[in-house]
């Protein structure tokens, strides 16, 4: 996953509102969001190549998400699949902070990544590039393929769109959130970072929604948890930029998670 924005404990009706795009090679085999047969309490899409995931929630209310850190000027490191970080937290009995401390200890096992772990009550962030565990303040945050809240144009844009909309509405229209994540216009090259991929690819990757010949946005997820611990999870999938299917799930958290 390459872009997400979320608001934590800042809305009268919703504890957590999260919207996210997963960008990946079209050829990489992927299962749509569902409750996993081998871990029935986990709701997430699944990477069928390594059997991990990029974003998920369990029935106890634990939430986790991951993005890769993109900087091709850095040496490539790590031997384990980063997608297992998310699924490991969702399966774990550890608190989010304890899990992040364990991840920090094992940070060299993974290539550069950003990890969110916690619940609707509180959220933690860790990057093995920054190597610092952050307990996040309430408010609106954004994450792409640099550190949390790095002011890349698409990060700033999605944060602003989400914050402005939630300030104006009591009950969310999920179509509005999906619309925010489906903006395909690239940003001007002079506003973009240099992550070592060259100007043409940098500009292609700058858009909120990516569509190219072999790589692009595979799905968009909208996750909300309201003040009564009701979870609404919707995933829309795409094939080469064209919408193909919707998966919707709704449940009440069994026992509110203490992240």
Residue 1 has pLDDT above 70, yes or no: no
The count of other CB atoms within 10 Å of the CB of residue 38 is 7
Say what the pLDDT of residue 257 is.
Answer: 58
Mean pLDDT of 15-25: 98
Residue 77: which pLDDT band, with cuts at 50, 70 and 90?
A: confident
Residue % of the chain over a pLDDT of 70 = 98
Domains and CATH numbers, the chain: 3-248 (3.60.60.10)
CA 106 to chain centre: 21
Residue 78: which pLDDT band, with cuts at 50, 70 and 90?
A: confident
**Radius of gyration for the chain, computed over Cα atoms and rounded to the nearest angstrom:** 17
Annotate 96-159 with DSSP letters as a single string.
Answer: HHHHHHHHHHTGGGS-SEEEEEE-SS-EEEEETTTT--EEPPSEEEEESSSSTT---HHHHHHH
Alpha carbon separation from 182 to 20, 37, 179, 220 (Å, rounded):
10, 30, 5, 8
What's the N-to-C CA distance of the chain in angstroms?
A: 22
Question: 76 or 19: which carries more pLDDT confidence?
Answer: 19
Mean pLDDT of the chain: 96
Residue 86 φ then ψ, to 5°: -65, -50
Say what the pLDDT of residue 255 is.
Answer: 77
Position of tokens 């749509």?
Answer: 32
Say what the pLDDT of residue 75 is.
Answer: 81
Residue 256 has pLDDT above 70, yes or no: no
In our burial notation (b when 16+ CB lie closer than 10 A, e otherwise), range 128-162 reads bbeeebbebeeebbbbbbbebbeebbbbbbbbebb
pTM tops 0.75, yes or no: yes
Residue 209 has pLDDT above 70, yes or no: yes
Measured over all CA atoms, what is the biggest interatomic distance in the chain, rounded to whole angstroms? 48
All residues at 6 or more sequence positions from 92 whose CB lies less than 8 Å from its CB, including other chains = 99
């Amino acid at each position: 996953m390459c872009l997400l924005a979320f608001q934590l404990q800042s809305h009268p009706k919703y504890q957590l509102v999260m919207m996210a795009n997963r960008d990946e090679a079209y050829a990489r085999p992927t299962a749509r969001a569902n409750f996993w047969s081998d871990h029935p309490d986990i709701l997430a899409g699944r990477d069928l190549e390594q059997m991990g995931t990029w974003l998920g929630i369990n029935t106890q209310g634990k939430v986790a998400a991951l993005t890769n850190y993109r900087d091709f000027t850095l040496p490539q490191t790590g031997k384990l699949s980063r997608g297992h970080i998310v699924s490991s937290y969702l399966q774990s009995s550890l608190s989010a902070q304890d899990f992040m401390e364990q991840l920090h200890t094992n940070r060299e096992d993974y290539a550069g990544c950003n990890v969110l772990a916690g619940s609707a009550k509180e959220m933690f962030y860790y990057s093995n590039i920054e190597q610092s565990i952050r307990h996040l303040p309430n408010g609106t945050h954004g994450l792409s393929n640099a550190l949390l809240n790095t002011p890349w144009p698409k990060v700033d844009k999605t944060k602003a769109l989400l914050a402005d909309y939630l300030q104006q509405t009591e009950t969310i229209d999920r179509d509005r959130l999906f619309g925010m994540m489906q903006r395909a216009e690239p940003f001007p090259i002079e506003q973009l970072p240099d992550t070592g991929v060259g100007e043409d690819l940098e500009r292609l990757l700058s858009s909120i929604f990516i569509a190219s010949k072999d790589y692009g946005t595979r799905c968009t997820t909208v996750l909300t948890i309201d003040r009564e611990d009701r979870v609404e999870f919707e995933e829309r999938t795409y094939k080469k930029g064209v919408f193909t299917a919707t998966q919707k799930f709704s449940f009440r958290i069994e026992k509110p998670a203490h992240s």
